[in-house]
Amino acid sequence: MSKLKLGLPAGSLKESTLEIFKKAGYNVNVSDRSYYPYIDDEEIECVLIRAQEIPIYVQENILDVGLTGKDWITEMSADVEEVAELTYSRSGLRPVRLVLAVPYDSGIESVKELEGKKIATELVHTTRKYLEENGVNASVVYSWGATEVKPPVLADAISELTETGRSLKANNLKILETILVSTPRLIVNKESWQDSWKKKKIENMITLLQGALFAEQKVALKMNVSENNLQNVMEMLPALRKPTVSNLFEGGWVAVETVVDEKDVKDLIGKLKDAGAEGIIEYPLNKIVP
């Protein structure tokens, strides 16, 4: 039997990745702490490894397909196909950024002033390349973690991944510039992408993952409307998906159902009530395939 070898990230992306795969219809069971979890698709073999390692294993054809961040794809200069961007909805958080940061009281205000300085980072190549592009000569050294505590004793500046900037601030560091904005990507080995069976399987996976991601930001709304108010209510509903109209048991009334952006609901509900909608209910969705 043909098998698709899939690499999933074991670190900070793990929980949200497994959740989105579950919503997409792929149950990955990691209950016994194995690095080779069970997935309920007999044609897929699953490996949990560090996000850093996935680009190389995909490039080397040890894995057919992997999910990792743009940051590590860039750092590794991996020669792979990047076939989908998967912007996990994370409760409104900004995406991960790789930033240059220096101590507040360092007096350094721009990347140019890093000339001749020591910079600690986990993404050495990406940082070096950025500095070169900016015409800056600096010593970039690999940091095995706790990078944000290195300045000013062990480094003059750092290049570090951050979501909220909070950890930087707590260490009295200010952000100079953003080197890279990173989101999760699905990457595929170039040979595997030529294999029609694998390609079709991966494309189906993308459809399902994006359907699940899309649904995370939507909800379904259902409401009762008297026939008189139907036109008014309809004008308020966004055109995301054609609304359904069903009869109520009680004559003269219809039920209208549609899908809207979750973030719009807060404002929409009041307007719908004003336009004559009653008994508005909202329910969750697993997946939307437009």
d(CA 87, CA 95): 8
Please say which residue, 108 or 211, places its beta carbon nearer to its own copies: 211
Beta bridge partners of 260: 219
Beta bridge partners of 8: 48
Please say which residue, 135 or 144, places its beta carbon nearer to its own copies: 144
Count other C-beta atoms under 10 Å from residue 72's C-beta.
24
Q: What is the smallest separation between the CB atom of 101 and its own copies, expressed in angstroms?
A: 16
Please say which residue, 112 or 281, places its beta carbon nearer to its own copies: 281
Please say which residue, 133 or 286, places its beta carbon nearer to its own copies: 286
Sign of the CA dihedral with 12 first, then 17, 18, and 23 last = positive
Q: What is the smallest separation between the CB atom of 255 and its own copies, expressed in angstroms?
A: 4
d(CA 27, CA 85): 21
* Residue 119 backbone phi and psi in degrees, to 5: -125, 125
Question: Which two tokens mark 282?
Answer: 């909202």
CA dihedral of residues 44, 48, 49, 50 (deg, nearest 10): 120
Q: What is the smallest separation between the CB atom of 130 and its own copies, expressed in angstroms?
A: 22
Q: What is the smallest separation between the CB atom of 22 and its own copies, expressed in angstroms?
A: 8
Please say which residue, 171 or 189, places its beta carbon nearer to its own copies: 171
Please say which residue, 111 or 171, places its beta carbon nearer to its own copies: 171
- Is 267 within 8 Å of 221 (Cβ atoms)? no
Strands 44-49 and 4-9: parallel
d(CA 248, CA 278): 12
Beta bridge partners of 142: 121
Q: What is the smallest separation between the CB atom of 50 and its own copies, expressed in angstroms?
A: 4
Q: What is the smallest separation between the CB atom of 111 and its own copies, expressed in angstroms?
A: 22
Please say which residue, 135 or 290, places its beta carbon nearer to its own copies: 290
Q: What is the smallest separation between the CB atom of 285 and its own copies, expressed in angstroms?
A: 5
**Cis bond before residue 151 (omega within 30° of 0):** no
